[in-house]
Amino acid sequence: MNNDFLHRLFLDKKLEQIPKYKELLQRFETQELIHWKDILKNFENELKSGTKDDPPTNVFINNDDGKKRWEDFKVRIVEH
């Protein structure tokens, strides 16, 4: 993820309204490895289905396109 873009995202006050997504973005701020199992454990439900407090992204919906985007997301996480 582009560092400039990431920095601009963190400046957006709306991010405070969706803390789980902010937590996910914070993982990209460091050079530390991001483990896919950790992403699954902590973020899969929110990203795919949403919760009462965090809306679903509608990016990873349960169809071929959503499944393809989920696999692409996994590749990006592993490459980070």
pLDDT on residue 57: 83
| Rounded average pLDDT over 37-56 | 90
Report CA dihedral (4, 6, 11, 16) to the nearest 10 degrees. Answer: 180
Are 30 and 37 in contact, with CB atoms under 8 Å apart? no
Task: Give me the DSSP letters along the chain.
Answer: --HHHHHHHHH-GGGGG-HHHHHHHHHTSSSS---HHHHHHHHHHHHHT--SSS---SSS-SSHHHHHHHHHHHHHHHH-
pLDDT on residue 55: 77
pLDDT in tens, 2-36: 778 888 888 889 888 888 889 999 988 877 889 99
